[in-house]
């Protein structure tokens, strides 16, 4: 663990309404606004989201959260995350109407989340899908991750694994339409790496799969530093600005537009 608390941005990925209406397991949520909460340290990469990752063997819950709007009116929303994250969030302004109290509506396995269609704010695709990635930990963040294969070597390699390995798709009953239409989208231009830095770094270090942790670590160490200090946005309203300049503006926009929440641990 690092020093001090870590602040994540929890991006609200809304579960498509028609699924809530038609899925038997979501009976209790008919007519409600339901979101997977994806924890990220890189909110400025939201313009390149291609899918959402969960831990297929993890346990998740749907939690009722009473959020206050600007004019002090309250609204109820439903957040999907790990029970651990829901407990923490209940002390951070996202409770079921009383400080420190979380209300679990139902439990879901990671496997049950796979294939859910989502709407992601600011993302280039109309709908994206929940897919499994092996290195998603249920002991970190919300256990839900937004996937940006242009800028994250983990995300790049895990998505490529699903495209290359039919056995993996069969094991998790993944449909081709959840995977193949989604290619990395240029979001950040990094000097000497170009605008698909995760792909370039994975190729440079010959990362062969999402389990290839040593090569992945080298790829990550390289792109994260360079991306943060030298990266320039090429997509979204702050295109042309340095990541360092735009990061907080994008974060604040997402928060003020209620497209994301702050989550610390
Ligand atoms: B980041 P830290 Cl483009 N399990 O978001 C595994 N990984 C998780 C996670 C979990 N439970 N929760 C969050 N993460 C990922 C974007 C991104 C991220 C980019 C580049 C680098 C990067 C898109 N994925 O992270 O270990 C999330 O991926 C580099 C560190 O808690 C989150 O930010 O410090 C990051 O790891 C949090 O990592």
Residue environment code for 26-54, b if the CB has 16+ CB neighbours within 10 A, otherwise e? beebeebbbbbbbbbebbbbbbbbbbbbb
Give pLDDT < 70 ranges for the chain.
1-3, 70
Q: What is the pLDDT of residue 55?
A: 98
- Token pair belonging to 64: 């009722």
CB 197 within 8 A of CB 242: no
Q: Where are the beta strands (DSSP E) in the chain?
A: 7-15, 34-40, 51-54, 59-68, 74-81, 103-109, 117-119, 128-132, 144-147, 188-189, 232-233, 260-264
| Residue 238 CA to its chain's centroid (Å) | 21
168 lines ligand 1 (CB under 6 A): no
Q: How far apart are CA 142 and CA 61, in angstroms?
A: 11
With a 6 Å cutoff on the Cβ, whether 155 touches ligand 1 is yes
Mutation pick for ligand 1 pocket among 145, 146, 231 (CB with most ligand atoms within 8 Å): 145
Residue owning the nearest CA to atom 6 of ligand 1 = 136
User: How wide is the angle at C-alpha 180 spanned by C-alphas 45 and 235, nearest 5°?
Assistant: 25
Best residue for ligand 1 mutational test, from 80, 141, 251 (most atoms within 8 Å of Cβ): 141
Any atom of ligand 1 within 6 Å of the Cβ of 50: no
Give the pLDDT of residue 2: 56
Distance from the alpha carbon of residue 31 to the mean position of ligand 1, in angstroms: 31
Considering the entire predicted model, what is its pTM? Answer: 0.97
40 within ligand 1 shell (Cβ under 6 A): yes
Quick check: CB of 42 below 6 Å from ligand 1?
A: yes
- Each residue's pLDDT tens digit, 68-112: 876 778 899 999 999 999 999 999 999 999 999 999 999 999 999
**How far is ligand 1, taken at its centre, from the CA of residue 264, in Å?**
14
- Write out the CATH class of domain 7-185+246-264: alpha beta
Interface pTM, i.e. ipTM: 0.98
């Amino acid at each position: 663990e690092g020093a001090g608390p870590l602040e994540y941005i929890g991006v609200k990925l809304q579960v498509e309404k028609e699924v809530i209406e038609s899925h038997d397991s979501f009976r209790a949520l008919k007519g409600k606004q339901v979101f997977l909460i994806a924890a990220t340290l890189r909110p400025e990469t939201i313009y390149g989201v291609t899918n959402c990752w969960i831990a297929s063997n993890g346990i998740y819950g749907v939690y009722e959260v009473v959020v206050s709007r600007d004019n002090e009116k309250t609204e109820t929303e439903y957040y999907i995350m790990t029970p651990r994250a829901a407990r923490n969030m209940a002390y951070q302004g996202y409770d079921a109407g009383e400080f420190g109290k979380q209300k679990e509506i139902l439990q879901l396995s990671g496997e049950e989340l796979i294939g859910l269609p989502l709407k992601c704010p600011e993302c280039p695709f109309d709908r994206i899908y929940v897919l499994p990635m092996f290195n998603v930990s249920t002991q970190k963040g919300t256990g839900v991750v937004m996937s940006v294969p242009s800028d994250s070597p983990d995300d790049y390699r895990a998505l490529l694994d699903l495209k290359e390995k039919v056995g993996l798709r069969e094991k998790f009953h993944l449909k081709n339409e959840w995977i193949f239409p989604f290619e990395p989208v240029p979001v950040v231009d990094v000097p000497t790496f170009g605008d698909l830095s995760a792909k370039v770094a994975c190729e440079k270090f010959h990362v062969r799969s999402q389990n290839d942790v040593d090569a992945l670590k080298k790829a990550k160490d390289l792109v994260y530093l360079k991306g943060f200090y030298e990266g320039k946005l090429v997509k979204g309203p702050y295109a042309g600005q340095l990541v360092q300049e735009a990061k907080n503006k994008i974060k604040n926009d997402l928060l003020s537009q209620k497209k994301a929440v702050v989550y610390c641990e």
